[in-house]
Amino acid sequence: MSDRTPSGDGFGQTPKNIEHLLRDVREALQMDVAFVSEFAGDQLVFRALEGDAESFGWQEGESFPVDESYCKRVLDGRIPQVVPDAKREDATKDLRVTSEADMGSYCAVPLVLSDGRLYGTLCCVSHAPDPWLRERDLRLMERTASWLVKHLERLDSAMRSLGELATRDHLTGAYNRRAGEEHLLKDIARAERGGGTLSLAVQDIDGLKSVNDEHGHQAGDACLEHFASVLGRSVREGDWIARWGGDEFVVGVWQAQGEETSAKRVLERAAGELREDPPVLPSGEEVRLTFSVGVGQWRAGDDVQGLFRKADEALYRAKAAGRNTVIEHAD
């Protein structure tokens, strides 16, 4: 009888990281390698490897066709989850991976996320056959898999958060310039396919420099944050806001066929809300804030530069007209 502890004894504390987790399960089952695989389209990717992976010819980050793997066959029911002797098991003895990786014994459980998505598998393998490898060893593998799923979901959430943070202006929460440029390119492609009208609104906050000079940059930052918040409440679903730099913001506005709400109306509504809800400085003082807007409407043949040129020309006219107004470019 084997002296390993497949019931999971010794796993009472959360492992420090995935490497420690894989080492613990590998040593408990007395296998050569433990690994986490991810199913990425038609590829199986080694996301984490612990043990003598080099002797199998595997490296972390390496991928190969998923249909050639034991992992996929296990999930399809073509291979048992526990294979004590891969070179004698009918389902595995003639597979290319058995000879190429010199597979002797194998054990695998699926990694299924809480929303039902299949991430991949947790596997343990050895070159030598293992007559003591039994279905009961899956209990330890399944317990390990549950820890892994929790870790993967925290990591997935963190990566999504990081990805979102990478698109946002750190002060206002609006999209940053890079993300705004990506949205604009997508919107122009959508406009070229038809189905609506795209307008680009470029706006500057009037007199923000004087707020900075008189009250300090913290006051200016408070104005920027508040302005972005008011814009966010004024635009509609499908529109977007980006801080282009300094006190310049850009808004992409869609007007569906037959819809009466134009970009000018959206920005005039924002101006009205800003009058009703002025920013409050760190000192507790309210400050009257206005902004000037230039709107350019996409026409067939316009690229990003052409659309910006229209909006910038209209913004220049808005400032020349005394600021605190919305001017549309006359095509």
Report the helix count and the strand count for the chain, using DSSP H and E: 9, 11
Q: What is the CATH code for 18-164?
A: 3.30.450.40
Answer whether residue 315 shows pLDDT above 50.
yes
| pLDDT reported for residue 259 | 58
pLDDT digits (tens, 9 = 90+) for 22-35: 888 999 999 999 99
Q: Mean pLDDT across the chain, nearest whole number?
A: 86
The residues spanned by each domain of the chain are 18-164, 177-328
Active site residues: 247
Q: Which CATH superfamily is domain 177-328 in?
A: Reverse transcriptase/Diguanylate cyclase domain (3.30.70.270)
Q: What are phi and psi of 163, to 5 degrees?
A: -65, -40
pLDDT of 154: 79
Sheet with 248-256, strands from edge to edge, namely 240-245, 248-256, 196-206, 290-297, 326-328
pLDDT band, very low/low/confident/very high, at 318 (cuts 50, 70, 90) = very high
Using the structure block, give the residue that is written with the tokens 């990805």: 163
| pLDDT for position 11 | 34
Query: What pLDDT digit, counting tens, does each position of 239-290 carry?
Result: 999 999 889 999 999 876 555 557 888 899 899 999 999 999 989 989 899 9
Q: How many CB atoms lie within 10 A of CB 127?
A: 16
Q: Is the dihedral of CA 318, 322, 325, 330 positive or negative?
A: negative
Listed range (1-10, 49-58, 166-175) with the worst mean pLDDT: 1-10
Rounded to an integer, what distance in angstroms lies between the CA atom of residue 242 and that of residue 222? 17
The closest of 260, 272, 261, 277 to 226, measured between CA atoms, is: 277
Q: What does the chain come to in residues?
A: 331
